[in-house]
Amino acid sequence: MGEARKDALRVGFDRTIKLAFHGARVSSDAGLFPYRDLDDAAGLTESAAMELLDLRTGGNIQHSITALLRQSIYSRLAGYEDVNDAERLSVDPVMRHVVGGRAVDRQAASTSQVSRFETDVLVQPDNLAALMNMPGQWVDLLRQRRPTRKLILDMDSSVSETYGDQEGSAYNGHFACECYHPLFLFNQDGDVEYAKLRPGNVASADDWCSVLEPIIARYRDLDAPKFFRGDAAFAIPELYDLLEAEGYRYAIRLKANAVLERYIAHLLTRPVGRPPNKPQRFYHSFEYQAKSWDRPRRVVAKVEWHQGELFPRVGFIVTNLGGGARPVIHFYNQRGTAEQWIKEGKHAVRWTRLSCHGFDANQVRLQLHVLAYNLGNFLRRLALPASVKHWSLTTLREKLIKIGAKMVRHARYVTFQLAEVAVPRSLFDAILRRIERFRLLPPRVLAPP
């Protein structure tokens, strides 16, 4: 009976076809190897694991903290959004070699081992604090080889729907669902500098200082222009004061009100003549001081008249940028890329998959998803040739990561025979060559925050 289960399967339409299953020798995730190569070149997971305390006791510890951290990150990068697939991945040949250590010759961690690592070890206060700082530390490891010429910080909140009785879950009227309400801070390259999970019923800008202040401290000695963008939720006088004191240029949206509209009354009358097919745009800049501000600040207004609409579309930006009003509006509008990065995090690495009961455990899960996102974004901007530079993280997962491969073990080597369909050998070779050039760049010592 046991032998019968190992027999090849047959399909009815062509009896010459046989289907054989070799789980421990065949993988569908061979494209993880370039990510692991970049990880090694920058020392990402190795340095991150050194920040974590191993609180496990006993003589039956099978996997190191480094191996467990890699398995948690790489499984999410490959689209396995939870620990439910860890049992099958533990025998996957690519995952075993990516994880390293004992997993290469035996197995990677099982579902229960990964689950205990994430919900017992990483939720400890010191480990959780270290884990939340890791996205920024990874960015710094890249900055040692690729200096930052300009810093632009984009802050935005998002929604992670919840199901069942999860700690911290609450109804949010804006999103009209039970959810968590995480806050993200991105840099100009799309890397997450800091992410924080928050209860679902908090305001969009709630606890902004605990997210922004550590990043400002990290970049305080950076000798480069620094900028900040945020939507109307972050129109907070204390935030203006902090950014001005730290030398940041900012553009933050203001909610419209009657006082602001009086400054642009001359633009709120419909232009004379037949309305053109294209929207008509008008800009204006003026000094304005709200009651909660200690000084006047520059406000830039944009008024758009659209054909067929009775009233104009009006927007206000508070800023300390110089120059004309149009460039200020253009600079602010580029913060839409942050919304695109959030969408990529949701769809490519599934960082909305926060299924634990405990709030701290879900905080851990969010940070692991963010690290997977950052690793994916690092490879996209550092190693992809120009012809595929436009690929999204979802496209990279489906075309690059999801390459089928068969493992063949020899006396001295392990060969992975990769399928050459969506990603040919030439493209794979170009990616590995770029990673090798990055590895050879001499690292600089960054000033401590």
Spatial distance between the Cα atoms of 227 and 212, rounded to a whole number of angstroms? 12
Q: Please report, for residues 43, 138, 327, the alpha-carbon distance to residue 208 in angstroms, rounded to integers and kept in the order given.
A: 30, 21, 27
The bridge status of strand 151-157 relative to strand 226-230 is: parallel
* Residue numbers of the domain that contains 303: 232-334
Average pLDDT rounded to a whole number, residues 7-14? 77
Q: What is the pLDDT of residue 79?
A: 92
| Residue 4: pLDDT over 60 | no
Q: At what angle do helices 32-42 and 359-383 cross, to 10 degrees?
A: 90
| Residue 22: pLDDT over 50 | yes
What mean pLDDT is reported for the chain?
Answer: 91
Would you say residue 246 lies in a domain? yes
Average pLDDT rounded to a whole number, residues 220-224? 94
Would you say residue 150 lies in a domain? no
At residue 216, what are phi and psi to the nearest 5 degrees?
Answer: -60, -40
| Residue 20: pLDDT over 80 | no
Q: What is the pLDDT of residue 1?
A: 35
Would you say residue 46 lies in a domain? no
User: Residue 408 pairs with which residues in a beta bridge?
Assistant: 415
Question: What confidence category does residue 316 fall into, taking pLDDT thresholds of 50, 70 and 90?
Answer: very high
What the block records as the tokens of 298 is 């520059």
Q: At what angle do helices 359-383 and 125-143 cross, to 10 degrees?
A: 10
This prediction has a pTM of 0.93
Spatial distance between the Cα atoms of 284 and 127, rounded to a whole number of angstroms? 50
CA angle 352, 356, 360 (to 5 degrees): 90
Q: Please report, for residues 211, 233, 322, 404, 410, the alpha-carbon distance to residue 153 in angstroms, rounded to integers and kept in the order given.
A: 11, 15, 18, 38, 49
Q: What is the pLDDT of residue 214?
A: 96
| Residue 13: pLDDT over 90 | no
* Tens digits of residue pLDDT in 36-45: 999 999 999 9
Would you say residue 238 lies in a domain? yes
Would you say residue 166 lies in a domain? no
Question: What confidence category does residue 59 fall into, taking pLDDT thresholds of 50, 70 and 90?
Answer: low
DSSP 8-state secondary structure symbol assigned to residue 399: I
| Residue 10: pLDDT over 60 | yes
Spatial distance between the Cα atoms of 299 and 317, rounded to a whole number of angstroms? 5
Average pLDDT rounded to a whole number, residues 225-244? 97
Spatial distance between the Cα atoms of 67 and 384, rounded to a whole number of angstroms? 26
Number of folded domains that form the chain: 1
Would you say residue 280 lies in a domain? yes
Question: What confidence category does residue 58 fall into, taking pLDDT thresholds of 50, 70 and 90?
Answer: low
Spatial distance between the Cα atoms of 200 and 440, rounded to a whole number of angstroms? 45
